[in-house]
Amino acid sequence: MTDYQEAARQLEDALGLESCLIGVKYGDKPDPRGDAGRKLAACEAIDVARRERAVVNLSSENCNCMGGGNTTLA
């Protein structure tokens, strides 16, 4: 168990949460533990991470929503 997982577990226990805490990390490379093949909207990805306790990799290629897949900078 990583330090982050242990800290999250302690927070869940202390606060009496029924579901797990999740985190979001932006990076230049996908996390090797994640599945980049699933097409999800950004909001769906958060729910999948919570329900399945999974790592989800989103990119402009597999993000299934206009806002989450927009990589154009103004």
How far is the C-alpha of 62 from the C-alpha of 8, rounded, in Å?
28
Per the listing, tokens 């979001």 go with: 24
How far is the C-alpha of 60 from the C-alpha of 33, rounded, in Å?
19
CB of 29 closer than 8 Å to CB of 58: no
- Whether pTM > 0.85 for this model: the answer is no
Per residue in 19-69, pLDDT tens?
Answer: 666 777 777 788 888 887 888 888 888 888 888 888 888 887 788 877 655
Nearest alpha-carbon partner for 47 in 59, 58, 31: 58
Nearest alpha-carbon partner for 53 in 10, 9, 3: 9
Confidence band of 73 (pLDDT split at 50, 70, 90): very low
Q: Give yes or no for residue 74 having a pLDDT over 80.
A: no
pLDDT of residue 9: 81
pLDDT of residue 21: 67
